[in-house]
Structure 1
Amino acid sequence: MARYTGPVCRICRREGLKLYLKGDRCYTDKCSIGRRNYAPGQHGQNNKKLTNYGIQLREKQKVRKYYGVLEGQFAEAFKVADKMSGKTGDNLLKLMELRFDNVIYRLGFASSRPEARQLVVHGHFTVNGKKADIPSMTLSVGDVIKVKEKSQSSDKFKALVENHKKTAPQWLQVEPENFTGRIIAEPAKEDIEIPIEEHLIVELYSK
């Protein structure tokens, strides 16, 4: 399945809540959820009751789109989470949060996850001093992320650092003036910006 390239505000409207896919716009009055909080399309305002399967599917789709993960990638992540010790749902969210592109966004080095993914692919960052350009790679506690020296002088990163307002979650430590971030603990569900019922996703994949 190819990555969705249409209007991302339609995704938020379909899920009925902000998924923070357009960066700063999501925090303004221009956000579509505030103006048209119903699903897109001709029948978007019809209240259709979902089956149990439909509820589980919508929860999976919400999380998948929130992190910008393809269907196959999400299914593989679930398999990995299921083999880890502990609760599968908690493990799955932890894997999503530790994705390289998500960490870049959470550190405030990008205004949205799609932008973070693009910046990673273009090779603007290092992890533990080594070039890293794979958005889906899973980072670990202790990893140090830094904007490459030649990228630090770009107007893009200068503006991000000068206007750095994003508060990093407790499991991350960020030094915007040094273009550096560090993972200091495992991510917690409480730090995720949207409500997630991960048990519904586990139930869906357990069928």
Structure 2
Amino acid sequence: MARYREAKCKLCRRAGEKLFLRGDKCDTEKCPQGRRPYPPGQHGKARIKPSEYAIRLSEKQKMQRIYGLNESQLRSYFKKASQKSGATGENLLQSLERRLDNVIYRLGMAPSRQAARQFVAHGHVKVAGRSVNVPSYLVKAGQVVEVFESSQANVKKLYPNLADKDVPAWLELNADQLQGKVVSLPTRDQIGTIVAENLIVEFYSR
């Protein structure tokens, strides 16, 4: 996992949009990106036209921050995506969405991907009936993800309205049993991440 020492809200302001790194706070009036929609620092309000390289770099960094990846991790995902048939950018996003920590986050069982990563790493999750504590585990279509019974009471207490969660079309949620199923591999229009993956492909293909 990439460790960003800069405040998460500053990362959103630097990206110029909400990356939803702080969970529920991002949807409130307290969100700094909403109150100060410009980059942090003394010259944050200055308007400088970025170069094409800077635009691509910024988009790559945005993807890293959204999914909590360092450079070598994202480059590895890109390399594997480029070796598959189909659009490289969509392949890349599909792999990142299938990460176990992201699936837990998308199912609403954690407020952020970072929290989901800790939840998985601490051994609270099963995949296809077996304990999995690796956040980067890629969940396959048809597999069921569930919370251990010993951890369910705490999760239900934290998220009493989980049944109202609007999950992506490629996932299926059973809130009562704290189970989720990957019904199919996500397509681009089913992935809510606002990122220009074509710019990332161009960045790594230069």
TM-score w.r.t. the length of structure 2 is 0.95
The equivalent of 1:131 in structure 2 is: 131
Q: Is the 8 A contact 1:161 1:177 kept in 2?
A: no
The equivalent of 2:144 in structure 1 is: 144
Q: Is the 8 A contact 2:2 2:69 kept in 1?
A: no
How many Å separate the matches in 2 of 1:15 and 1:174? 31
Q: Is the 8 A contact 1:105 1:116 kept in 2?
A: yes
**AA of the residue aligned to 1:131:** S
**AA of the residue aligned to 1:110:** A
The equivalent of 2:86 in structure 1 is: 86
- 1:51 corresponds to 2:69: no
Seen in structure 2, the aligned counterparts of structure 1 residues 70 and 177 have a Cα distance that, compared at 3 Å, is same
Uncovered stretches (5+) of structure 1, i.e. residues with no partner: none
The equivalent of 1:181 in structure 2 is: 180
Aligned residues: 205
Q: Is the 8 A contact 1:16 1:38 kept in 2?
A: yes
The equivalent of 1:168 in structure 2 is: 167
**Aligned-pair RMSD on alpha carbons?**
1.4
Uncovered stretches (5+) of structure 2, i.e. residues with no partner: none
The runs of at least 4 aligned residues of structure 1 exceeding 4 Å deviation read none
Instruction: State the SS of the aligned residue for 1:200.
Output: helix
**AA of the residue aligned to 1:162:** P
Instruction: State the SS of the aligned residue for 1:135.
Output: coil
The equivalent of 1:68 in structure 2 is: 68
Task: Name the % identity.
Answer: 47
How many Å separate the matches in 1 of 2:157 and 2:106? 17
Instruction: State the SS of the aligned residue for 2:176.
Output: helix
Shift of 1:26: 0.8
How many Å separate the matches in 2 of 1:191 and 1:68? 20
**AA of the residue aligned to 2:102:** N
How many Å separate the matches in 2 of 1:77 and 1:94? 10
Shift of 1:194: 3.9
Instruction: State the SS of the aligned residue for 1:145.
Output: strand
